[in-house]
Amino acid sequence: MKNIGIFWVLLLIVAACSSVKNLAVDKDIERTLNQSPIFSNQFTGFSLYDLAAEKFISGYNDTKRFTPASNTKLLTMYVSLKSFQDSIPGLLHSSSGNTILVQPTGDPTFLDSRFENQPVVQFLDSMDSVNIAWPQNEIEKFGHGWAWDDYKYDYQAVRNWWPMYGNQVTILKEKDSLEITPRFFRDFVEAKSDEGNGNGNGNGSDREVNYNLFTVHPPTDTSKYEESIPFEFSKDLLIQLLSDTLKKDFQFTDEMIINPDTLFSQSIDDVLSLMMKVSDNLISEQMLILSAWKNGYTSIEPFIKHAKLIWLSDLNEFVWVDGSGLSRYNLIAPVDQVRLLKKAQEEFGLERLKNILAVGGESGTIKEWYAAEEPYVYAKTGTLSNNHNLSGFMKTRSGRWMIFSFMNNHYTVPTDDVKAEMQKLLEEIRDSY
């Protein structure tokens, strides 16, 4: 009995010490955030969760809602993992007499050069002619709250049922040679080397609003120049691009596709890894469209309501309107970003998520930040003008795994200054816990 009593006393002492340590960590973080010349002049939120202890150990404005920017892709990643097991569907198809009938699914990887294996291309290439059964509902090319005048920038390619080439025209100049991809657009790109390009360094490329007429200003010397500009999508253009690329007859049909087979394209983890590491907006938008389609929804709005009600009901109320985070209408609290990541870790495993997320000092959007001999940050960034966020997993010196969300809105200093201050705090937490 005496030994049992001693055991309980020691257990209480350990628990008390742990509570004191957690309180000290929380107070240190709060003090750092309050005293920082960067964080004290902006809207900052922070949440930290200890996976082993299964509890939150720090929170600062953690229940306030922030503009997440590309941290929104964590939601898209989660519903994509919920929706697909191994691979994403690239095309629905069935035979109709001597002709193949196909229906697009929204797969964003078709003719994207970053995916070397192209099952859909190989399948279509084996056909003599192809009839396309187009989905009845159309997809809005821009999301709610997107900046319409960003149409010419590579981060805002349009959404549709059959993306190809990433829905962008790529202009590559090496020495004196100018290469246009897709080739179809070579007569619609005008290359100028004049004073209008802002000193001849390749800046100032443009595209007509609502028209596929491009103007680029490649450098006048022999330096390499590469730029991607979104093209304006239409169903007529799709037929032209497919026919020009695959050298066969494509046409639309009113025939409905019945009892189709599914042709799968890419590994879900490969697609999500690219989406998260480089923060690809088109892939994330199309993955939300694909997830909605897979769950029986013809648009993303009712699917988002479904996901919030059925899959994410344990999160506080948040605003979610697109797949990429381009919209400033999105709002979520740091504590709910942590809860989302915890759900993902419990359902899909930490190792799988580590392979999907960017790695500090090694890959993706945090390749230049959070470097260490042993990687300690696996996370997703989220950046818009005056906003920068980071949410993910962190490994401390003692080997403990943490989930964190660090959200910064409304600053006016350079974003690198904010990142440097964030890195200092995360390093302190890594080294002291």
pLDDT tens string, the chain, 433 residues long: the values are 555 555 454 444 444 444 445 545 677 899 999 999 999 999 999 999 999 999 999 999 999 999 999 999 999 999 999 999 999 999 999 986 667 999 999 999 999 999 999 999 999 998 888 999 999 899 999 999 999 999 999 999 999 999 999 999 999 988 778 899 999 999 999 988 754 444 444 456 899 999 999 999 888 777 788 999 999 999 999 999 999 999 999 999 999 898 999 999 999 999 999 999 999 999 999 999 999 999 999 899 999 999 999 999 999 999 999 999 999 999 999 999 999 999 999 999 999 999 999 999 999 999 999 999 999 999 999 999 999 999 999 999 999 999 999 999 999 999 999 999 999 999 999 998 8
Distance CA 411, CA 413 (A): 6
Looking at the structure, tell me whether residues 71 and 87 fall in a common domain. Answer: no
Please report whether residue 34 resides in a domain. yes
- The CATH number of whichever domain residue 280 belongs to comes to 3.40.710.10
Looking at the structure, tell me whether residues 100 and 242 fall in a common domain. Answer: yes
Asked if residue 84 lies in contact with residue 275, where contact means CB atoms within 8 angstroms, the answer is: no
Please report whether residue 2 resides in a domain. no
Looking at the structure, tell me whether residues 138 and 190 fall in a common domain. Answer: yes
Amino acid identity, residue 286?
A: Q
Looking at the structure, tell me whether residues 283 and 428 fall in a common domain. Answer: yes
> Given this model, what pLDDT does residue 223 score?
78
Number of other residues whose CB lies within 10 A of the CB of residue 156: 23
Please report whether residue 133 resides in a domain. yes
> Given this model, what pLDDT does residue 302 score?
97
Total domains present in the chain: 2
Looking at the structure, tell me whether residues 281 and 258 fall in a common domain. Answer: no
Looking at the structure, tell me whether residues 198 and 298 fall in a common domain. Answer: no
Of 252, 272, 292, the last residue of a domain is 272
Looking at the structure, tell me whether residues 186 and 244 fall in a common domain. Answer: yes
Of 272, 301, 325, the last residue of a domain is 272
**Residue 301 to residues 140, 195, 322, Cα–Cα distance (Å):** 12, 46, 9
The residue segments making up the domain with residue 235 are 83-272
Contacts 24+ apart (CB under 8 A), 373-381: 376/430, 377/426, 378/353, 378/354, 379/404, 380/70, 380/71, 380/73, 380/74, 380/77, 380/276, 380/279, 381/70, 381/71, 381/279
Of 257, 272, 287, the last residue of a domain is 272
Please report whether residue 15 resides in a domain. no
Please report whether residue 57 resides in a domain. yes
Looking at the structure, tell me whether residues 290 and 236 fall in a common domain. Answer: no
Looking at the structure, tell me whether residues 266 and 280 fall in a common domain. Answer: no
Looking at the structure, tell me whether residues 240 and 288 fall in a common domain. Answer: no
Please report whether residue 74 resides in a domain. yes
Looking at the structure, tell me whether residues 144 and 292 fall in a common domain. Answer: no
Please report whether residue 167 resides in a domain. yes
> Given this model, what pLDDT does residue 206 score?
92
- Rounded to the nearest angstrom, the gap between the alpha carbon of residue 238 and the centroid of all alpha carbons in its chain is 25
> Given this model, what pLDDT does residue 81 score?
98
Looking at the structure, tell me whether residues 95 and 42 fall in a common domain. Answer: no
**Residue 204 to residues 119, 177, 197, 207, 215, Cα–Cα distance (Å):** 37, 19, 5, 10, 8
Please report whether residue 203 resides in a domain. yes
